[in-house]
Amino acid sequence: MPTLIPGTLVLVRHGQSEWNLANRFTGWWDVGVTEKGEAEARAAGKLLKDKGVLPTLAFTSLQTRAIKTLHLALEECGRLWIPEVKDWRLNERHYGGLTGLDKQQTREKHGEEQVHIWRRSFDEPPPPIETGSEFDLSGDPRYAGIAVPAAESLKLTIERVLPYYQEAIEPKLAEGETVIVSAHGNSLRALVKHLSSISDDDITDLEIPTGQPIVYEFDADMRAGERYYLKDA
């Protein structure tokens, strides 16, 4: 039998969302993308087409901003027809009781240092969301049968994203698929941390820009090469 050539992984953070623009903590709350976000998604798809990196399989979260970004990018590169898998484990980190709050007002109320810890600490989650509050998603039909977290640290986010990657996505890469994952800043941080062997301390400072495809290629033993932005290829 011929040896399979491992596939290519493309990671895309959703285009600018309505709450990115409003500077609010979003997490699992479902918001759309802005006009700028739509343009970022289309630009990502055009880049995929121009560089000849054409996805054969797609994964995304259950959140509109990631799904919409995926569809706009795939439309732009003529790949809307490829198989697509949606899973909650690719959702953004759950910001708990911070969900919906204005980030600057939260800094003024709790102090810059405390908010920085909530946002950038590896293993300290924000305050839990209150049951029955405006942003409580426990009754959302898309999460039926799922224990919606009350809040997550980056560490907890990794603990759901990484096993899903290893179970669902990595085997497809090993089969030679070109996989696109349209997700979120923290769920993608989880993947980059694993694939690029980034320490717990350093990963919290890694910024993943919206709408900029990140590419990983793999050797025959499924070891990831150096990541790069597709615009730089």
List pLDDT tens digits, range 170-183. Answer: 999 999 999 999 99
Residue written as token pair 């290519």: 8
Residue written as token pair 């109320």: 109
Residues labelled catalytic:
14, 92
Task: Please report, rounded to a whole number, the percentage of residues in the chain having pLDDT higher than 90.
Answer: 88
Q: Predicted confidence band at 4 (pLDDT cuts at 50, 70, 90)?
A: low
DSSP tally for the chain: helices H, then strands E:
9, 6
pLDDT number for residue 5: 80
What pLDDT, in 10s, does the model give residues 120-173?
A: 889 999 999 999 999 999 999 999 999 999 999 999 999 999 999 999 999 999
Q: Is 138 helix (H, G, I), strand (E, B) or coil?
A: coil
What pLDDT, in 10s, does the model give residues 57-70?
A: 999 999 999 999 99
The closest of 129, 113, 130 to 121, measured between CA atoms, is 113
166 Cβ partners below 8 Å, 6+ apart? none
On the question of pLDDT at 206 being above 80, the answer is yes
pTM, two decimals, is: 0.95
- Give the DSSP letter of residue 230: G
DSSP sequence for 62-77: SSHHHHHHHHHHHHHT
Residue 49 structure tokens:
């087409």
